[in-house]
């Protein structure tokens, strides 16, 4: 340990951190190339070859040329994923009006209202709820 001073350790850690950071950026750019809808196949292939063959220059040029729209594509992807998740939850809960649930949540709400009004006993409510959930 005497032959490797503390300052060299810090420099090594910094270069390792920058190297890992660059790899994350490279993967982010490759993902963005494939996700981009405004580019054709040849454009994607050209950018991919440029980024792989000349990695440092390719990444910098890509960030300069198309970096501003990367955020837009990220936002669109997040909105699509959020909409798909919400649609899945609606279908799973049965409130989407589709064939998946058939309005089971609405039926449970009606049963609870009938129970609160005193039209159903606790036993009748539990039996009807089990029947709906089965």
In contact, 77 and 71? CB cutoff 8 Å: no
Helix, coil or strand: residue 12: helix
32 and 84 share one domain: yes
Q: What is the mean pLDDT of residues 115-127?
A: 84
Rounded to an integer, the average pLDDT of 29-54 is: 92
Same domain as 30, residue 67? yes
**Same domain for 112 and 91:** no
| Residues 38 and 66 reside in one and the same domain | yes
- Convert the pLDDT of each residue in 73-113 to its tens digit: 889 989 999 999 988 888 887 654 444 445 567 788 888 88
86 and 134 inside one domain:
no
The model carries a pTM of: 0.57
Q: Is residue 1 part of a domain?
A: no
Same domain, 107 and 96: no
Q: Are residues 72 and 19 in the same domain?
A: yes
The lowest-confidence range among 9-13, 93-97, 118-122 is: 93-97
**Alpha helices in the chain, H assignment, sequence order:** 6-35, 41-53, 55-93, 104-117, 122-133
Token representation of residue 27? 């993967």
Q: Is 122 exposed, middle or buried (0-12, 13-18, 19+ CB in 10 A)?
A: exposed
Q: Is residue 91 part of a domain?
A: yes
Residue 76 domain flag: yes
Q: Which two tokens stand for residue 8?
A: 């060299």
Residue 93 covered by a domain = yes
Let me know whether 111 and 92 are in one domain: no
Residue 38 sits at the vertex; the CA angle it makes with 37 and 44, to the nearest 5 degrees, is: 80
pLDDT band at 55 (very low <50, low <70, confident <90, very high): confident
What is the span of the domain harbouring residue 93? 6-100
């Amino acid at each position: 340990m005497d032959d490797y001073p503390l300052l060299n350790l810090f420099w090594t850690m910094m270069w390792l951190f920058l190297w890992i950071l660059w790899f994350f950026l490279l993967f982010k750019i490759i993902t963005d190339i494939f996700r981009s809808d405004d580019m054709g196949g040849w454009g994607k292939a050209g950018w991919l070859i440029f980024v792989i063959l000349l990695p440092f220059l390719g990444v910098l040029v890509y960030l300069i040329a198309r970096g501003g729209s990367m955020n837009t594509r990220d936002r669109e992807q997040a909105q699509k994923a959020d909409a798909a998740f919400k649609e899945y939850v609606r279908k799973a809960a049965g409130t989407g009006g589709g064939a998946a649930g058939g309005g089971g949540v609405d039926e449970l709400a009606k049963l609870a209202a009938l129970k609160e009004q005193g039209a159903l006993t606790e036993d009748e409510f539990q039996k009807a709820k089990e029947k709906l959930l089965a």
